[in-house]
Chain A
């Protein structure tokens, strides 16, 4: 099955499931049955099922369908859970502190899921634009190497040219650039102005250097670009990895709250 036909098939299944859920809910309501118990329980089971995706990832040695199939199921069943949530709450914002908290948790999980999906589809293609595709865990080591190389060049410039022009500039502008982790969010949104500003300052310095210093500065500029590429990778790969650290804990919090909600609803009914 091609990726496109798989998507069409999944949408059709999703639409059927959503319509069935809506019809059942409607039928129960017009018969004045407790539709919210049915939708609530179904929703809970569906959310528990959604968390199994994470468990499957921990068991790659068992023949439990491909993770990509799980992913597709996770996406469409996740969307279905939104429909079930709407039916369960009657498409209204719940009243009561606990219910409101639970609803907010659900919204956050759903939004983080949808945003995460968007990020996973949108960012990877944009990651290949700048720099090498470095492995995330190697970025700190690569950054340290760049910093060390630049510091050696700065020292070399002082020795060779008997001038502190590059060293002063390093202290003033480059030390922070090579040591810090600033402008990370700019990289996420692709805003390049800080780099362009820095490069323009470097060009400003260049005219006051002799040939030897200019050669060293040219090498430093290469490192600036390399460092910028690394920061770009770090920021975007970080977002790609990081959203799960929001989505998963929120899911578990929501599950616990949903269980409490279920017990309370059962005791009070």
Chain B
């Protein structure tokens, strides 16, 4: 093996421009002339370029965070269910949004690339003996293309044959040149809600979300435009997916959508104050959380969680006891509104709803619910009439299953954000560290979590990336190195585009990202040519996304002590806790 360069140039944002990020399909390099053309699009023309900082000008954003892609008629541009890291603007042709679900077979949805059985086995002897070994000095076509086994998989456009036949019975909307789509998934780090197909030979500008975020930050007209698009395009879909509105016809749904309010509670950058808040007393912490709806108040409407989390609490002695938590798609206040309507009573809200950090809600006022939603609602969907107030037993359902202290612990520490939270039952854990060794063996001999963390009762939430629903670690990443994989939404880091700025590590409220020093095969650290500082990389659990086994930690625990838990599934969590 040739001697590797020890002193290298520190990786920078935009070292790998967006057009050069994918190894899977050819994209023409972005040129200054191309950017000139893009700046003539009405959406960009109306922006004031002087509002952008010098080092991230609109021109540079388009040059580095944008790429122009060509699609044939029938090519899939984005797939429902995939995690989006970018948005598209139609330059020419049309984008056909398919509002109904297409089958995975039709859309060609694929699992991310995993290791073959042999290359998995080969890790046994191929793993470096030293920690954090990289081959940063070595040039290779794969590296140049940014292609490693942990890079985001960006599928080449999949062609939907006989598009007209396949989408014949589906509801579609055509977006002409100049329209933007895919921005919600990209900006909220969530899954795509629809599949979009090229309706004709088309050309699209794709912008990765880091660039999109900068544009949103410096161009207020763009923010207004995005909000308007949400109301026009997605709101009705969102409402339709909610069971309480599913019986409404298009016309009524449009009426409901027209009066639905967008409300935001808490700070989008909630993670910035999280550590400080954690140090205050429990009653203080809860009082600091913004109230969305207050127990005892008149139920003025129904709240639908759009993103973020909310705590459901009730008065208990002189404090507030957490009963449960709500996440995306869950509703609050419906039972009270419905019971009042059914029984002509004036039952107030039975619980308080508070923003845990940050929550985006859709608010539908009571008169609208009474006029449009309740009258045609199937009886099975209506709450059972209760003699005096909503049966407190129903509130305690999750209470009974999850002990109150545990509930407070997971809500207050915001572990509810995790989709793969590592929980260790310390009464079963023999501290053998088989989990840590298994993690190391599957990650080039580097364990990607710490078997350490806060404990409640005998349950430890270990310092392992939880693959959050709201991965705030991604917010500041200037290169998009930390991203969601498109199929499962796991939060992974592209080691090659990581510039070691530590923004993600500082943003992760759970301290689950470690900054490590990259070394060559002989163990010497790499240094930046310019500053002589060591080259750092962010490292964390990737849920063994390239392994054929799934998470090695949970598989390796001989004592059934360790589990990766999706905290959205309260019942599963409660069952697991109860078995212990």
- Comparing B60-68, B150-158, B555-563, the segment that makes contact with chain A is B555-563
A-B contact pairs, 21 of them (CB 8 A): A2-B579, A59-B124, A60-B442, A61-B547, A62-B121, A63-B549, A66-B555, A67-B434, A67-B556, A68-B557, A71-B559, A120-B559, A124-B426, A124-B427, A125-B458, A128-B426, A128-B455, A133-B455, A133-B460, A136-B431, A237-B431
Residues of chain B in range 549-580 having any CB-CB distance to chain A below 8 Å: 549, 552, 554-561, 579
Identify A57's interface contact among B123, B434, B579, CB under 8 A.
Answer: B434
Contacts of A133 on B, CB cut-off 8 Å?
Answer: 426, 452, 455, 460
**Docked CA distance A241–B428 (Å):** 14
> Does B548 have its Cβ within 8 Å of any Cβ on chain A?
yes
**Docked CA distance A237–B579 (Å):** 25
Interface residues of chain B: helix, strand, loop or mixed (majority): loop
B417-438 interface bits toward A, Cβ cutoff 8 Å, 1 = contact, 0 = none: 0000000001111111110011
> Does B451 have its Cβ within 8 Å of any Cβ on chain A?
yes
A49-79 interface bits toward B, Cβ cutoff 8 Å, 1 = contact, 0 = none: 0000000011111110011101100000000
Contacts of B115 on A, CB cut-off 8 Å?
Answer: 61
| Top 4 closest pairs, chain A to chain B, by CB | A60-B438, A71-B558, A125-B427, A68-B560
Whether A67 contacts B557 by the Cβ 8 Å rule is yes
Whether A61 contacts B441 by the Cβ 8 Å rule is yes
Residues of chain B in range 530-562 having any CB-CB distance to chain A below 8 Å: 547-549, 552, 554-561
**A59-B124, A60-B552 given; A124·B558 CB < 8 A:** no
**Docked CA distance A237–B452 (Å):** 15
> Does A135 have its Cβ within 8 Å of any Cβ on chain B?
yes
**Docked CA distance A70–B433 (Å):** 16
> Does B1 have its Cβ within 8 Å of any Cβ on chain A?
no
> Does B120 have its Cβ within 8 Å of any Cβ on chain A?
yes
B103-132 interface bits toward A, Cβ cutoff 8 Å, 1 = contact, 0 = none: 000000000000101001101100000000
Contacts of A18 on B, CB cut-off 8 Å?
Answer: none
B84 CB, nearest partner CB in chain A, Å: 30
Identify A3's interface contact among B117, B548, B560, CB under 8 A.
Answer: B560
B187 CB, nearest partner CB in chain A, Å: 36
**A3-B579, A67-B555 given; A60·B428 CB < 8 A:** no
Contacts of A60 on B, CB cut-off 8 Å?
Answer: 437-438, 441-442, 549, 552, 555-556
Whether A135 contacts B552 by the Cβ 8 Å rule is no
Please give me the residue from chain B that is nearest to A67 by CB atom: B558
Residues of chain B in range 455-473 having any CB-CB distance to chain A below 8 Å: 455, 458, 460
**Docked CA distance A120–B240 (Å):** 52
B207-226 interface bits toward A, Cβ cutoff 8 Å, 1 = contact, 0 = none: 00000000000000000000
> Does A127 have its Cβ within 8 Å of any Cβ on chain B?
yes
**Docked CA distance A120–B556 (Å):** 16
A40 CB, nearest partner CB in chain B, Å: 29
Whether B441 contacts A128 by the Cβ 8 Å rule is no
Interface residues of chain A: helix, strand, loop or mixed (majority): helix
Contacts of B557 on A, CB cut-off 8 Å?
Answer: 66-68
Identify B558's interface contact among A4, A63, A70, A241, CB under 8 A.
Answer: A70
**Docked CA distance A59–B548 (Å):** 12
Please give me the residue from chain A that is nearest to B123 by CB atom: A61
**Docked CA distance A240–B560 (Å):** 16
Contacts of B430 on A, CB cut-off 8 Å?
Answer: 120, 123-124, 240
**Docked CA distance A62–B117 (Å):** 7
Whether B438 contacts A240 by the Cβ 8 Å rule is no
Contacts of A66 on B, CB cut-off 8 Å?
Answer: 554-555, 557
B321-354 interface bits toward A, Cβ cutoff 8 Å, 1 = contact, 0 = none: 0000000000000000000000000000000000
**A3-B579, A133-B452 given; A57·B556 CB < 8 A:** yes
Contacts of A57 on B, CB cut-off 8 Å?
Answer: 434, 437-438, 556, 558
Please give me the residue from chain A that is nearest to B424 by CB atom: A133
Residues of chain A in range 8-29 having any CB-CB distance to chain B below 8 Å: none
**Docked CA distance A4–B455 (Å):** 25
Please give me the residue from chain B that is nearest to A138 by CB atom: B452
A234-268 interface bits toward B, Cβ cutoff 8 Å, 1 = contact, 0 = none: 00010011000000000000000000000000000
**Docked CA distance A163–B433 (Å):** 47
**Docked CA distance A127–B429 (Å):** 10
Contacts of A127 on B, CB cut-off 8 Å?
Answer: 426, 431
Contacts of B442 on A, CB cut-off 8 Å?
Answer: 60-61
Contacts of B427 on A, CB cut-off 8 Å?
Answer: 124-125, 128
**Docked CA distance A2–B554 (Å):** 16
Contacts of B549 on A, CB cut-off 8 Å?
Answer: 60-63
Contacts of B433 on A, CB cut-off 8 Å?
Answer: 136
Whether A61 contacts B431 by the Cβ 8 Å rule is no
**A2-B579, A133-B460 given; A61·B452 CB < 8 A:** no
B499 CB, nearest partner CB in chain A, Å: 29
A74 CB, nearest partner CB in chain B, Å: 8
Please give me the residue from chain A that is nearest to B442 by CB atom: A61
Contacts of B559 on A, CB cut-off 8 Å?
Answer: 68, 71, 120
B543 CB, nearest partner CB in chain A, Å: 14
Whether B432 contacts A241 by the Cβ 8 Å rule is yes
Whether B452 contacts A135 by the Cβ 8 Å rule is yes
Residues of chain B in range 241-257 having any CB-CB distance to chain A below 8 Å: none
Given contacts A3-B579, A60-B552, A124-B428, 16 further A-B pairs with CB under 8 A are A3-B560, A57-B438, A57-B556, A60-B441, A60-B556, A61-B115, A61-B548, A62-B121, A66-B555, A67-B434, A67-B557, A68-B560, A128-B455, A136-B433, A237-B431, A240-B432
Contacts of A4 on B, CB cut-off 8 Å?
Answer: 579
Please give me the residue from chain B that is nearest to A243 by CB atom: B430
Whether A124 contacts B437 by the Cβ 8 Å rule is no
Please give me the residue from chain B that is nearest to A244 by CB atom: B432
**Docked CA distance A135–B548 (Å):** 29
Contacts of B426 on A, CB cut-off 8 Å?
Answer: 124-125, 127-128, 133
